[in-house]
Chains A and B, each alone.
Chain A
Amino acid sequence: MLTLHVDEARWRRHLEQVRDADPSVVPVAKGNGYGLGLVRLAETAQSLGLDTLAVGTYAEVPVVERHFDGSVLVLSPWRPFETRATYDPRLIHTVGRVSDVEDLTSDPSRGRPRVALELLTSMRRHGFTPAELRAAAPLVDRLQVEGFALHLPMDHGSHLGEVERLLNDIVASGIEARTVWISHLAADDMTRLRSSYGDFDVRPRTGTGLWLGDRGALRVTSSVLDVHPVERGDVYGYRGRSAPRAGHILVVSGGTAHGIGLEAPTGGASLRDRAARVAKGGLDAAGFVRSPFTVTGKQRLFAEPPHMQASMLFLPHGAAVPAIGDQVDVQVRFTATAFDQTLLG
Chain B
Amino acid sequence: MSRLDVRPVSAEEHRAFIRSRRHASFLQTPAWGEVKSDWRRESLGWYDATGTLVGVALVLYRQLPKVKRYLAYLPEGPVVDWDAEDLADWLTPMTAHLKAQGAFAVRIGPPVVTRRWDAAAVKAGVADEGVHRLGEVPPTRREPVGARVLGRLRELGWQQQVAEGGFAAGQPQYNFQVPLRTPEGEQRTEDDVLKAMNQQWRRNIKKAAKEGVVTRRVPSAELDTALRQFHVLYVHTAERDHFTPRPLGYFTTMFAALGAEDPDRIALFTAEHEGDLVASTILIQVGGHVWYSYGASSTEKRDVRGSNAVQWEMMRHALEQGADVYDLRGITDTLDSDDSHVGLIQFKVGTGGEAVEHVGEWDLPLNRALYKAFSLYMARRG
Contact (Cβ within 8 A) B139 A169:
no
Contact (Cβ within 8 A) B144 A172:
yes
Smallest CB gap from A137: residue in B = B144
At the interface with chain A, which of B102-110, B148-156, B197-205, B348-356? B148-156
| Residues of B contacting A165 in the complex (Cβ-Cβ under 8 angstroms) | 151, 154
Q: Does B245 reach chain A (CB closer than 8 Å)?
A: no
> Which of A130, A134, A195, A199 interacts with B142 by CB under 8 Å?
A199
Q: Does B137 reach chain A (CB closer than 8 Å)?
A: yes
Q: Does A106 reach chain B (CB closer than 8 Å)?
A: no
Contact (Cβ within 8 A) A172 B148:
yes
Q: Does B157 reach chain A (CB closer than 8 Å)?
A: no
Contact (Cβ within 8 A) B151 A169:
yes
Q: Does B138 reach chain A (CB closer than 8 Å)?
A: yes
| Residues of A contacting B144 in the complex (Cβ-Cβ under 8 angstroms) | 171-174
**How many residue-residue contacts, CB under 8 A, span A and B?**
34
Q: How far is it, in angstroms, between the C-alpha of A170 and the C-alpha of B142 when the chains are bound?
A: 10
Q: Does A87 reach chain B (CB closer than 8 Å)?
A: no
| Residues of B contacting A170 in the complex (Cβ-Cβ under 8 angstroms) | 147
Contact with B along A166-198 (1 / 0, CB 8 A): 001111111000000000000000000001111
Q: Does B136 reach chain A (CB closer than 8 Å)?
A: yes
* Chain A interface, number of residues (Cβ within 8 angstroms): 15
> Which of A168, A196, A198 interacts with B151 by CB under 8 Å?
A168
| Residues of A contacting B139 in the complex (Cβ-Cβ under 8 angstroms) | 199
Q: How far is it, in angstroms, between the C-alpha of A170 and the C-alpha of B146 when the chains are bound?
A: 12
> Which of A130, A134, A171, A198 interacts with B138 by CB under 8 Å?
A198
> Which of A134, A195, A196, A199 interacts with B148 by CB under 8 Å?
A134
Interface of B, secondary structure class, is helix
Given contacts A168-B151, A169-B151, contact A196 B142 (CB under 8 A): no
| Residues of B contacting A169 in the complex (Cβ-Cβ under 8 angstroms) | 147, 151
Contact (Cβ within 8 A) B138 A197:
yes
Contact (Cβ within 8 A) B151 A130:
yes
Contact (Cβ within 8 A) B138 A172:
no
Q: Does B135 reach chain A (CB closer than 8 Å)?
A: yes
| Residues of A contacting B135 in the complex (Cβ-Cβ under 8 angstroms) | 196
Q: How far is it, in angstroms, between the C-alpha of A199 and the C-alpha of B138 when the chains are bound?
A: 5
Contact (Cβ within 8 A) A168 B138:
no
Interface positions, chain A 191-228, Cβ under 8 Å from B, are 195-199
| Minimum Cβ distance to chain A for residue B217 (Å) | 40
| Minimum Cβ distance to chain A for residue B174 (Å) | 15
| Minimum Cβ distance to chain B for residue A137 (Å) | 9
| Minimum Cβ distance to chain A for residue B355 (Å) | 15
| Minimum Cβ distance to chain B for residue A163 (Å) | 14
Smallest CB gap from B130: residue in A = A195
| Residues of A contacting B148 in the complex (Cβ-Cβ under 8 angstroms) | 134, 172
Q: How far is it, in angstroms, between the C-alpha of A200 and the C-alpha of B143 when the chains are bound?
A: 14
Contact (Cβ within 8 A) A198 B154:
no
| Minimum Cβ distance to chain A for residue B85 (Å) | 9
Smallest CB gap from B115: residue in A = A171
Smallest CB gap from A199: residue in B = B138
15 interchain pairs, CB-CB under 8 A? A165-B151, A168-B147, A171-B144, A172-B145, A172-B147, A172-B148, A172-B151, A173-B144, A195-B136, A196-B135, A196-B136, A198-B136, A198-B137, A198-B138, A199-B142
- Which A residues form the contact surface with B (CB < 8 A)? 130, 134, 165, 168-174, 195-199
- Top-9 shortest CB links A-B: A198-B138, A171-B147, A172-B147, A172-B148, A199-B138, A174-B144, A171-B142, A168-B147, A195-B136
A sample of 11 more A-B contacts (CB under 8 A), given A173-B144, A195-B136, is A168-B147, A169-B151, A171-B143, A172-B144, A172-B145, A172-B148, A172-B151, A174-B144, A196-B136, A198-B138, A199-B138
